[in-house]
Structure 1
Amino acid sequence: MKLARRILGGLTAALCACSGSSTQTSATGTVGMAADVSALRNDGSLAHVTATVLDAQGQPASGSVAFTASAGNLNGSGTTALSVALNAAGQASVTYACDVSIDPARCGPGSVAVNATWSGVTNGMRLTLQGLSSSPDAGSSDAGSSGGTDAGTGGSGSAGPAASITAVSATPAVLGLKGSGIQETGLTTFLVTDASGRAVSGATVSFGQNQPALVTLAQASAVTTASGTVSVGYDAGPLVGITAITATVAATGAAGSQPIAVRGARPSASGFYFRCSKTNLPVYTTTLEYETTTCTVRLSDRYGNRVGIATPVNFAAEAGAISANAVTKPFDFATPTDPDEGSVTVTFSSDMARGFGPVETTPIAGEPSVGNANPRDQLVTIIAMVRGEEAFVDANLDGQYNAGELFVDQGDPFIDSNDNNAYTGDEATEPRFCGGTDCSTYHGPNGLWDSDRTIWVPTWIAFTDAPKVTVDPWIASSCVDYVDNNVPNPSSASTGVSFRDGSLNAPAAGTTYGASFVGAPSGLTLNTLFGFDELENVGSSDPFWQRVSEANVNQPCTVATTTNGACVMQTRFGPFDDGHRLVLRVDDTNKTPAAAAPGHVCGGTPTAGTNLGSFTVQINAKGPHKDASAYTNGTYAF
């Protein structure tokens, strides 16, 4: 029977997530679980377990989480089942403890399962119990059998003087900056042991912190428990950095420490960066029509500090595909200067399900068009969304928003497919997303600075095809005369060459340009000017987000032009690229034949004894997948 129970216990462990952290996903939402420790003593010591819940849209969920445990008690309630309400960040936390003196049958050494359930989605994890009694598995009928050794002691007998202090947990070790409202408080637990590793009870431990002093300690000292542990709480201050909580037993000099970091925590729209590495994808140059690029979000708080708390970011695209959500990289003590802190990178791909491409648009002022096509027809809007605060200008430098200061007012996120800066109400072409607590309808900017809402920012990508080569008329004419002709006619001619696809978009980055004579016309030279390798672009468009007055969007965002400092962001376009990349110049170095001099061949009737020939120039554009070429002709004297 014991073997059978152990096998069943192993199956249970396989069905539950391992201790530390885990995530369970379904169509309803996602439940993630994490604990500050993977093992704890079975003397009533605490583990802190947190469930993080996102709904089907990747937003922090609401409601309650039902926690259950196979043994022990939750939140000191004496029960193994407890319901806890989710906070605004979609998190719910409980403390877990199992005391062998209270429940010797189920709190022996082994493992216990702690599960969390929200809206039918369940996730679980296991915690290891360590103590004086042994058990094949906590919660089994054999849990009361004897013969185990206390995993947390170094031997039997009374403990000696304090010789060592070890930090056993920090919940959390990374705090959010004071005033961020995110993870501002923490608790660190130390274990005091003697020279033999036995827990020392009744020892007075003094607490302090290294410089820089970044936190406020809840108490100056405390006395160790029967298990040799002692805890100190702390609150984050207004500065970011890294410090350490110190613990010292003055009587023996035993000391220990726990690193603590204070980081930016609440994202600000003023520090919300979102860009893609490639902004022109040559989608239509291959049969598969499949191109990819990486897109990166970087989050900073109102002070410009990187957000060092792991933060979920959501994404949506007008066409193609992008990850629905991803979590930014948190601060890591191992790499404290990591430039990727507060960042997350996702992949965007151009695959268009069921043939739905970018939304067709009406040309705007200054935009070129041919037939029904214009560059913005192939412009894809992508948005990134995160919970945070609206941007503001801290005019008096007091670190907080004050009425009358300029701020950027945002409405609910939506994909502005037609680039008109207004939500059309058409969910099919302009999907919207929840920005506040009410998701039933779209909510525009409210004229107020919001400290907690969904902030968002767009970026753009163009889908392009291989270019069509267009040659301008030759100047002065397509006929180049003798260098010493008697009219005089020009002995050189030049022309410009543009490269744009059927939607009048410029080619993708990496496209190269060139031109050469077909054959070798005697006495002619061809010079190509410009023709640099194509740099990254957004097709022929130059979209950007500009801050303007909410009261009058044709005015800049200034105190004088706004009402109560309210501004909004609007999509604007710079000059459209006309696609010109090459200038060709043909020079005739031939002189009039001696028998015909003085003479000419261009314009009117050629002088007797002169010679008129033709030349052809081939122009090439070599793209990532497909090349394009064209020819232009002229005549010359030889």
Structure 2
Amino acid sequence: MHRPILRVGLALAIALGVVAACGGETPEPQAPEFLISANPRQINDQGQISQIDVTAKNADGTAGTGTVVLKATAGVFTSGATEETLPLAAGKASTGFLCNKGADAKCAGNVRIDGTWGTEVTSVTLTVGSGTPPRDGGTDGGTTPKPDGGTPDGGGGTTGTYTTVVTTTKPLLVANTGDTTVVTATVTRTAGGAPEANASVTFNTTLGSFTPAQGTQTATATTDSTGKAQVSIYVANTPPGTARITATYGDGTGIKDLPFSAISSIVYVTGSAKALLGLDSSGRETTTPVNFKITNSAQQPVPGVEVSFEVSGAAGASVTPTAVSDNNGVVSTTLRSGNSVGVAIVKATVTATRGSTPEVSANHPGTPIVGGKPSDTGLSVDCTLKNLGALHALPPPRVVNTQCKAKLVDRFSNPVGLATPVQWYAEAGSINSPVDSRPQQGTTPSADTGDAVTTFSTNGAFPPYAVTPLTTSNPSEMYQGDPTDPNGRNPRDMTVTVIAVVAGEEEFVDGSGSGPTAGQTNGRWDPGEWFTDLGEPLVDRNDNGVWDPGESFIDTERVDCSNPNAPPAKNNRWDGPNGCWDNNTQIWRSIHIVYSGPLYTGAGMASERYLVYTPPDQPYSVPAGGIVDVSVRWADAYYNRMSPDSASFGVTKTGTRGQVSVTSDANAFAYGGFTINYVKREGTTQPDGTVRLGALCDTGKPTPPNSSTSPAATRCVRSAEFNFLPGGQIANVRLTGGSGVGGPVTSTVELKANHGFSTSPVVQFQAIYE
């Protein structure tokens, strides 16, 4: 709170000897002095300018430092704002103020301007009227007023026929440089405030020059129709100080004190920038403030200094080109990413020193611009083990874990460097969800940047959903019993669908198709280009590509392709591919895990094709010194093969004649009864809204007619396609004949399937060694 100034009372006390007579009493300490004056104090509501002058002194009488904040209850300062921060130069500052009722209805009657300097506050009140204001000059009777603060204050103007107000574009200039700013003198008639056109105004300065070289401290300029005359003032390599600029026309003189400040250094403010940014098209954080601090040789902050910014290291990145330091000497720019990855380095240079030797500049250490939003283009999902021995327990499941990973990349195949949550869903068992992808550490991505790794466990819901065969026309699709009976076993009964879901954009092929941009690559999707249309995320437990009752799906906010301006909305039902490229949706992939058990030794082994010998003729006749190879295809109860963890085959025979051996890929991954191809096919919307799948999607050919309009009838659609095989594990048994001495010997060959965690089933067949 501004305290009353008691200079008169204190002087009187000293004159009367009161202080001395009180036996050494300590005199009351002086208070800081903070004054605001306005000239004229009465203005019209048509834009007449009043000069606002500030004087600040410390308690010890020295000139105040720092900045003053002025705030008006109506109207604006000549900067165009209702609040303005002014740096103090030799304890003084000035600006202009006007109140135009056409722009601000509150411009009537008393308008207060409040000032704050540190903990000190004060104010000045102006009277705004619609008529011609009297020539008050700040005192009654039109006499020349005593300037506030006791001395000319670097901003006031004389009162007469004309009023002149001086302002500068910059609040200060940088000493010892070629820094420059525009000086504007606004001349109005004191009576009525009308601008004075075609008036020749004389400018003078005590420091600097009105030309780039030193020596020109007087200049003239003519006012325009708004009463404004302008010249440029240059530091002209002048050392630090304060330039007192005067502008005179007739009996009206305006004064402006302009500091020439010494700048020692500019440094990056550690930690002001974000660690990472996404690409501009990512929908992620794409901007960050980058702050620098300006100080003088005494390491004191310097406010009001213009700084220029530039950025390098990442194509397309940009920065706010210029800014001015605040009360704390801090100046800030905004770094915005482009659509290229890299490390964006912002350089800040005190504008007045650009091109000089040396420049006053600094670099920030760099902000990595990493991959954008996840794109379906490169999304991949896989699990370390996809055949788990969950059926090797009574009751099942045996608890087995495996890691699953989703790899996130953007449309440019850059790994997504920002931590991104990935949701995981499983038909059976359990899976940790959500998990964040690994963010980029440092300035370059590592091999696992963008990886979202989770753990799937068989410990959870059991069993997987029982399904019927997809087709009975394929003799390779194995099944037990009646194919229409869901209790009849087939390989897909123990197949678990797992999906990974993440917010991102659908895949497109830049420059493809036959639309208006065919052959042109611009980094974005354009109508007529091939794209891959996704339905809503679906745990498709019966593998038919569409939702069926009981299946889990994610109801997303979908765009209505026929009305793209409508806000995306949920509809409480599963939706297939919608016919338009979605840049903000839930992208997803499926992967399949098989639960397997001991190889089958129950009833119907041969009739139900659980065990198949090739060649089928038994007993096998092995000639002396000869070789007979027997392929044994052996499946578990669901026609799948052994889980590859610690799996092996062993073989023995009775008798001493000849030899037997076995080879197998028991430790290699395979499902057993099928393989799965994850493909893209042309999908064409039918009249009933379903999508008919056609040929494999060839994005090198033209898109069908009308593909540039939405929704597109034909586009690419993802499909998981099962290819069926005779189920089970193959063991290649080699029978090697002996010397042939003596008659034929019949041997029993025993093939054993081994796992370290369960009993080892055995099958036998006969061989006759000649």
**TM-score range normalised by the length of the shorter chain:** 0.5 to 0.7
The DSSP-based 3-state class of the residue aligned with 1:625 is coil
Where do 5+ consecutive residues of structure 2 fail to align?
1-66, 69-82, 84-115, 122-260, 482-487, 513-518, 559-568, 602-610, 685-691, 708-713
Listed as ranges, the matches of 1:564-583 within 5 Å are: 564=707, 565-576=714-725, 578-583=727-732
Residue aligning to 1:388: 504
Matched, 1:626 2:737: no
Equivalent-residue separation in structure 2 for 1:421 and 1:482 (angstroms)? 54
Residue aligning to 1:555: 695
Matched, 1:457 2:589: yes
Matched, 1:506 2:644: no
Contact 1:499 1:506 in 2 (8 A): yes
- 2:305 maps to which of 176, 188, 203: 203
Cα offset for 1:471?
5.7
| 1:409-456 Cα deviation digits (max 9, x unpaired) | 1121111110001111x1x33444425331422222111111111111
Listed as ranges, the matches of 1:187-336 within 5 Å are: 187-194=289-296, 197-219=299-321, 221-249=322-350, 250=353, 253-286=360-393, 289-333=398-442, 336=444
Equivalent-residue separation in structure 2 for 1:531 and 1:580 (angstroms)? 8
Equivalent-residue separation in structure 2 for 1:500 and 1:508 (angstroms)? 11
Contact 1:164 1:256 in 2 (8 A): no
Change (3 A) 1:478 1:435: farther
Cα offset for 1:162?
2.7
- 2:287 maps to which of 185, 203, 211: 185
Contact 1:524 1:588 in 2 (8 A): yes
Between structure 1 and structure 2, the one with the greater Rg is 2
Residue aligning to 1:86: none
Letter aligned with residue 363 of structure 1: P
| 1:438-483 Cα deviation digits (max 9, x unpaired) | 1422222111111111111111111111223636266654153663
Give the aligned length: 458
Letter aligned with residue 425 of structure 2: A
Change (3 A) 1:577 1:231: farther
Q: What is the TM-score normalised by the length of structure 2?
A: 0.55
Change (3 A) 1:454 1:514: closer
Contact 2:347 2:361 in 1 (8 A): no
Equivalent-residue separation in structure 2 for 1:179 and 1:561 (angstroms)? 25
| 1:344-384 Cα deviation digits (max 9, x unpaired) | 1111111124xx32111111233201130001001111111
| 1:258-291 Cα deviation digits (max 9, x unpaired) | 4122222122111111111111111121356211
Contact 2:287 2:337 in 1 (8 A): yes
- 1:448 maps to which of 580, 583, 596: 580
The DSSP-based 3-state class of the residue aligned with 1:377 is helix
Contact 2:633 2:728 in 1 (8 A): yes
Contact 1:545 1:571 in 2 (8 A): yes
Where do 5+ consecutive residues of structure 1 fail to align?
1-42, 45-75, 77-98, 105-158, 485-490, 594-610
Equivalent-residue separation in structure 1 for 2:363 and 2:768 (angstroms)? 90
| 1:510-534 Cα deviation digits (max 9, x unpaired) | 3443343344x23312243x31342
Listed as ranges, the matches of 1:100-111 within 5 Å are: none
Cα offset for 1:245?
0.6
- 2:660 maps to which of 526, 538, 554: 526
Equivalent-residue separation in structure 2 for 1:511 and 1:100 (angstroms)? 79
Equivalent-residue separation in structure 2 for 1:256 and 1:177 (angstroms)? 22
Residue aligning to 1:109: none
Equivalent-residue separation in structure 2 for 1:539 and 1:474 (angstroms)? 20
Change (3 A) 1:241 1:440: same
Listed as ranges, the matches of 1:109-148 within 5 Å are: none
Residue aligning to 2:556: 434
The DSSP-based 3-state class of the residue aligned with 1:444 is coil
Listed as ranges, the matches of 1:328-367 within 5 Å are: 328-333=437-442, 336-353=444-461, 356-365=462-471, 366=474, 367=477
The DSSP-based 3-state class of the residue aligned with 1:536 is coil
Change (3 A) 1:503 1:196: farther
Contact 2:622 2:735 in 1 (8 A): no
Contact 1:435 1:455 in 2 (8 A): no
Equivalent-residue separation in structure 2 for 1:465 and 1:264 (angstroms)? 43
Contact 1:620 1:627 in 2 (8 A): no
- 1:516 maps to which of 638, 651, 656: 651
Cα offset for 1:163?
3.1
Cα offset for 1:621?
2.0
Equivalent-residue separation in structure 2 for 1:562 and 1:231 (angstroms)? 51
Equivalent-residue separation in structure 2 for 1:398 and 1:260 (angstroms)? 25
Letter aligned with residue 501 of structure 2: M
Cα offset for 1:197?
4.7
Equivalent-residue separation in structure 1 for 2:509 and 2:693 (angstroms)? 18
Q: What is the TM-score normalised by the length of structure 1?
A: 0.65
Cα offset for 1:169?
4.2
The DSSP-based 3-state class of the residue aligned with 2:673 is coil
Letter aligned with residue 339 of structure 2: P
Listed as ranges, the matches of 1:11-22 within 5 Å are: none
The DSSP-based 3-state class of the residue aligned with 1:516 is strand
| 1:599-631 Cα deviation digits (max 9, x unpaired) | xxxxxxxxxxxx443212221222252242324
Change (3 A) 1:577 1:535: farther
The DSSP-based 3-state class of the residue aligned with 1:255 is strand
| 1:229-255 Cα deviation digits (max 9, x unpaired) | 110123222321112111234377352
Matched, 1:379 2:470: no
Change (3 A) 1:232 1:505: same
Letter aligned with residue 640 of structure 2: N
- 2:613 maps to which of 472, 493, 498: 472
Letter aligned with residue 716 of structure 2: C
Segment drifting more, 281-290 vs 317-326 = 281-290
The DSSP-based 3-state class of the residue aligned with 1:285 is coil
Contact 2:387 2:669 in 1 (8 A): yes
Cα offset for 1:502?
0.7
- 2:668 maps to which of 535, 546, 559: 535
Change (3 A) 1:497 1:215: same
Residue aligning to 2:161: none
Equivalent-residue separation in structure 1 for 2:528 and 2:400 (angstroms)? 46
The DSSP-based 3-state class of the residue aligned with 1:553 is strand
Change (3 A) 1:203 1:316: same
Letter aligned with residue 398 of structure 1: N
The DSSP-based 3-state class of the residue aligned with 1:376 is helix
Residue aligning to 1:636: 768
Contact 1:476 1:494 in 2 (8 A): no
